[in-house]
Structure formats: structure tokens, C-alpha cells
Amino acid sequence: MPQARFATFLAVTSFLCTVTHFQHMLVIGNALPNDDLFALDVLSKLHTDHVSTAEASSDFGHIVEAIPNAVFHPTSPADIAGLIKLSLSQPRPFTVAPRGRGHSARGQALAPGGVVVDMRSLAGRGSDHGHRVNVSSDEAWVDAGGEQLWIDVLCATLERGGGGLAPRVWTDYLRITVGGTLSNGGIGGQAFRHGPQISNVLELDVVAGTGEMITCSPDKNADLFFAALGGLGQFGVITRARIALERAPKRVRWVRLAYSDVRSFTRDQELLISRRDSEPDFDYIEGQVQLNRTLTEGRRSSSFFSASELDRLTNLAVETRSSAIYFIEGAMYYTDDTAAFVDERLAMISEDLSFVPGHAFVRDVSYVEFLDRVGRDEQKLRSAGVWDVPHPWLNLFVPRSRVLDFDAGVFKGVLKDARPVGPILMYPMHRDAWDDRTTTATPPDDDDVFYAVGLLRSAVAAGDLERLERENAAVLEFCDRAGIACKQYLPHHDSQDGWKRHFGEKWGRVEAMKRKYDPRAILSPGQGIFPAAVAPDDSV
């Protein structure tokens, strides 16, 4: 060993003597043969103290806990590549889980006994997002670091383009990361028109599970590009995404229309999304299901409805004796130029719809207030001490042809006596707005529309978690028995057979991409799709 490298090696090993068991276990001499100083730098960003590992050992779901051996604080994508190479150099590689903000519900961003990458560190400190949100000179797209929160992407793009620019599709909550949502799909009320967030990405930088830093797009390394979109963190760490932009509106008419009958509700939702290319329709369409017992017996708080509006809805629930009230939630964007026409547009749309007369509820808010609505709910729930509670969420994509069966079996069957705390979402999307080359699993293509149904319930009292888990299991069993070919969104499966069924025809591709881009199966082990640390001989 040349003298300089030997000195470096000594520095590394003596550094190791001063650090913890995990770092001590690493075989640094072999780590990065041409760059031991780099190995030292990687090691210095590993935090093994109890506070760091405890913080990275649970998530928003508060259902699963797993302690990592260390938390890594990268300051550049190259650091993440270095960490992955360090892992691969070990006789038994350690697992590596990028953690956006840990807003997963079932341990998907955990790394039991491995290393959690705290993606926040990539952004650095300060209000300029570490220069990791950059709008192109032609204002057609924004490059955002994978660690960036969507709220920060919004604030940065609104400052550009005169009146402001913005991505076209949003999740309901903006304090989740670009890399985390693109690893799932990213759905919201604009998806009926523009598809999910993963249909609005032009290019990615990915640090693959091989340690390579790869730029990919539909034209360049396309297999990795499509694999990483909806890829559940299995193929690489997304460190940059190029996202399409549009002109941002100034304000929003935000509307909820009540229905007591599921047929009219779904018919009107489908009518509205069918007019995706035409004016004067909504720019955002979602829907909610309010189980009547929540209105008549449960907690009646709402950040949208006033107390007197809730009284009216409760009366409606009592009068109709239906098990559920449904709301279409629509939003119509407008600017100073179009403000004069917004009410006229709304009136025209309403003429075609059959919500319960007198039960249209309208608000007028700024664009940012509208998009950040769940951020305000978060503040309220935090103050009430019911944000950091278990969230046994179940999200499903249900084929349009079976959505009435689902309603009958779930809302009027399994959940008939439930008084859920937390919203139930239900809204349709066009299948053709999803690119089949991405990894996210969608229902079979017999239907051109499927519904996103989110049972976003919180366990706030003793026994709630067990009860909600039983109800979730009963919902899945019902779908199985009734032959409703739904897919989980933000999926969780206990066995690889479950994952094979989940991905269906895509499974072969998922396996092949895993072998190519993460052959030792070190990435995002919390998803539980592939057994970690595949022996080298098993790799391609």
C-alpha cells in the first residue's frame, strides 16, 4: 500500500476506534479502495446516537417501529452514492432507506439494523432551499431536489413567471417530499386532468442501488426512469426531479356539493372528470364519504363546514336515513382576468349536477390557502394532541365497474356501524392518464376509470388501532370475496406472494429492474418486497 494511502487507512481506522459499534463493524480497508478520504467523509456523516436513531425508528403511521444502526446526513447526492458503495463493499451489505419526512404509515422508510438517509440534510440550511429548487429560463419546468417539500416547491415557483408558476398536480398535503411522493405516485384532485404527479416528471437524477449516479428520462436510461416513478424506493434514491409547470392562478372557488345517494354522486363525478379538456369545468375534483353515524353520533368538527352547515348536514343524514352522505369537492381556479366569470362558470356546471338542492357550500380562498388546507388541519390536530397518533390508513384503487358494489359492501356493510375519526376520500381518475411503464400498480385495464378510496382514519382512543386494523382486514377480505380487483395505493403486503399479486403483470419487470439497479437488495427494506442482502452470486 503506498504511503499516502496507508496514512489515510490509519486515519480511517483510528477514526473508527472512536466511534460506535456500527461504524466499527464496517470493513473500511476494502470500502472505497481509491478514495479512503471519501470513506472517512461518509463515516463522519453517520450519526449513531440514540436521539438520531430513535427519531428515524418510526413514522406517521405509529404502527411499526424499527431502530436503524445509524442515520446518514448527506450534503450531496455523491454522499449517498458513497454510502451505498460503502454498504456494497461489506461482506454483508447494510440496508439503506431514504427518508423523506417519514410520512409513510407502515414503516416503509425504516431500515431495521441498517442506515436511514435523512434526506433533509441535502437541502442544507437557509431559506433558499440550498439552491435545490430551480425554475428553467423558459419557465416550463422546475428542478427540485428529491428531499424538497412540495410546499417549498410551491413557494419557490410562485415567485417566478410574473404572476407565478406552479406544478400542475398536487397531493392534498404539501409537507411531504418530492422523492417520497414520486416513489408512490402522487395523487390529488388535479390528477383527473393531468394524471398523477409521476405523469408530470420530465427527468430524474437517481443514485441507484449499485452506487451509480444516473440521469434518466423517457429518452435516456428510460428503464430506470419509469422504474423509479412509483418504485417505492426499490431501485434508487431520487435526488432531483424535473417537474412540468403551468401558470399559477391567484384564487380558487372551493365548493362542496352534498349527495345522499351514491349513484348520483358517482355519476356526477364521472361526468365532471369526463370534461377534462373543456371549459368551464373544475380544475380539481375529489370527493368524500361521511358515514352518517359520524354526523349524528360522532365528533362533528370540520375545517370546511361551519357549525350551522354541519347541523344542516346532520338533518340531511337523519332525514334520508342513508348510511352515508357524499360530497363532491371541486375547485375552480381564477385570475384577475377571469374573476368576473367564475360564478357564471360555477352556475353553468351546477345546472348539470344533481346534488341535494340547497346543499352547495362555497368558499373563496387564495390558491396557496387552498393547496395548503391540510397544513392548517395539521396545526389544529397538533394543538388537540391528535396528530401524532396511530394512522392505520388504507388506500385503494377501485375499478369503476365495481365501485357501487364496493360502496354497498364497505360503507353500508363492513363500516356500517363505524364512527371514524379521519376523512374517507373517494374520487375517480382516468386510467389513460397513468403511464403503464411506471411502477405504480393500478387496477386491470378493463375499466377506463378507477376510484381512489382513502380510509384515512386515526386511532385516538384505547382499542381503536386494533379495531381499525380488523376493519381494514375485513374491507380487503370483502374485496377479495366479491372479486373486486382493487389495488392498494401506498401499499403494504406481508409476503412476497402478496407483492407478486399486487404488481400482477408488472412483477417480472419489477424483479428484473431490482436485479439490475439494486442487485444486493439494500434499498428501502421497510417496504418488505425483497429480502435484504441478496448473496452476490444471486445478482445478475
Ligand X SMILES: Cc1cc2nc3c(=O)[nH]c(=O)nc-3n(C[C@H](O)[C@H](O)[C@H](O)COP(=O)(O)OP(=O)(O)OC[C@H]3O[C@@H](n4cnc5c(N)ncnc54)[C@H](O)[C@@H]3O)c2cc1C
Least Å from the CB of residue 239 to ligand X: 7
CA-CA distance, 10 to 36, in Å (whole number)? 10
| Closest CB to ligand X among residues 12, 208 | 208
Does 146 participate in binding ligand X (rule CB under 6 A)?
Answer: yes
Least Å from the CB of residue 537 to ligand X: 27
Residue linked to cell 368524500: 288
Least Å from the CB of residue 392 to ligand X: 13
Does 518 participate in binding ligand X (rule CB under 6 A)?
Answer: no
Does 199 participate in binding ligand X (rule CB under 6 A)?
Answer: no
Q: Which of 103, 132, 373, 506 binds ligand X (CB under 6 A)?
A: 103
- One symbol per residue from 262 to 301: x for binding ligand X (CB under 6 A), - otherwise; what is it? ----------------------------------------
Does 513 participate in binding ligand X (rule CB under 6 A)?
Answer: no
Q: Which of 36, 79, 152, 172 binds ligand X (CB under 6 A)?
A: 172
Alpha helices in 256-341, H assignment, sequence order: 262-274, 292-296, 307-320
- What DSSP character marks residue 95? P
Q: What is the 3-state secondary structure (H, E, C) of 154-179?
A: HHHHHCCCCCCEEECCCCCCCCCEHH
Cα–Cα nearest to 422, from 366, 369, 367, 377: 377
Least Å from the CB of residue 322 to ligand X: 26
Least Å from the CB of residue 356 to ligand X: 26
CB atoms within 10 A of CB 203: 17
Q: Which of 23, 57, 184, 221 binds ligand X (CB under 6 A)?
A: 184
Specify the pairing of strand 424-430 against strand 487-489. unpaired
| Binding residues for ligand X restricted to 321-380, rule: CB under 6 A | 374
E-assigned strands of 75-178? Answer: 96-99, 115-118, 133-135, 141-145, 165-167
Judged by CB under 6 A, which stretch of 46-54, 159-167, 184-192, 399-407 contacts ligand X? 184-192
Does 527 participate in binding ligand X (rule CB under 6 A)?
Answer: yes
Least Å from the CB of residue 30 to ligand X: 27
Q: Which of 56, 238, 371, 510 binds ligand X (CB under 6 A)?
A: 238
Least Å from the CB of residue 523 to ligand X: 7
Residue 430 is a catalytic residue = no
CA-CA distance, 351 to 372, in Å (whole number)? 29
Judged by CB under 6 A, which stretch of 79-87, 95-103, 427-435, 472-480 contacts ligand X? 95-103
Q: How far apart are the first and last CA of the chain?
A: 32
- Do 151 and 375 meet the contact criterion of CB atoms below 8 Å apart? yes
**Active-site residue, selected from the candidate residues 118, 172, 268, 377:** 172
Q: Which of 353, 490, 521, 532 binds ligand X (CB under 6 A)?
A: 490
| Closest CB to ligand X among residues 249, 423 | 423
Q: Which of 164, 233, 287, 422 binds ligand X (CB under 6 A)?
A: 233
- Do 496 and 529 meet the contact criterion of CB atoms below 8 Å apart? yes
Does 177 participate in binding ligand X (rule CB under 6 A)?
Answer: yes
Does 102 participate in binding ligand X (rule CB under 6 A)?
Answer: yes
Does 524 participate in binding ligand X (rule CB under 6 A)?
Answer: yes
Helix H or strand E segment including 33: none
Residue 477 is a catalytic residue = no
Beta bridge partners of 211: none
The three-state secondary structure class of 276 is coil
The CA-atom distances, in angstroms, between 486 and each of 455, 480, 527 are: 14, 9, 19
- Do 175 and 378 meet the contact criterion of CB atoms below 8 Å apart? yes
Burial category of 481 from C-beta neighbours within 10 Å (exposed 0-12, middle 13-18, buried 19 and up) = exposed
Q: CA angle, 2 as apex, 41 and 92 as ends, to 5°?
A: 50
Does 256 participate in binding ligand X (rule CB under 6 A)?
Answer: no
Q: Which of 42, 187, 262, 285 binds ligand X (CB under 6 A)?
A: 187
CA-CA distance, 47 to 127, in Å (whole number)? 25
| Closest CB to ligand X among residues 35, 143 | 143
Residues in contact with ligand X, counted by CB under 6 A, come to a total of 36
**524 in the Ramachandran plot: left (φ > 0), alpha (ψ -120 to 50) or beta?**
left
Judged by CB under 6 A, which stretch of 28-36, 83-91, 306-314, 520-528 contacts ligand X? 520-528
Does 458 participate in binding ligand X (rule CB under 6 A)?
Answer: no
The CA-atom distances, in angstroms, between 333 and each of 169, 199, 255, 282, 371 are: 13, 21, 11, 8, 11
Does 101 participate in binding ligand X (rule CB under 6 A)?
Answer: yes
Q: Which of 68, 74, 82, 98 binds ligand X (CB under 6 A)?
A: 98
Q: Which of 85, 99, 132, 514 binds ligand X (CB under 6 A)?
A: 99
CA-CA distance, 451 to 192, in Å (whole number)? 10
**Active-site residue, selected from the candidate residues 286, 329, 377, 447:** 286
Q: Which of 141, 173, 265, 517 binds ligand X (CB under 6 A)?
A: 173
CB atoms within 10 A of CB 365: 15
Identity of the residue numbered 170 = W
**Active-site residue, selected from the candidate residues 47, 59, 79, 103:** 103
Least Å from the CB of residue 186 to ligand X: 5
Q: Which of 52, 87, 108, 323 binds ligand X (CB under 6 A)?
A: 108
Does 191 participate in binding ligand X (rule CB under 6 A)?
Answer: no
Does 421 participate in binding ligand X (rule CB under 6 A)?
Answer: no
Residue 172 is a catalytic residue = yes
Does 176 participate in binding ligand X (rule CB under 6 A)?
Answer: yes
Burial category of 241 from C-beta neighbours within 10 Å (exposed 0-12, middle 13-18, buried 19 and up) = buried
What residues are annotated to the active site?
103, 172, 286
- Which residues of the chain form contacts with ligand X (CB under 6 A)? 60, 97-104, 108-109, 119, 146, 171-173, 176-177, 179-181, 183-188, 232-233, 237-238, 374, 490, 524, 526-527
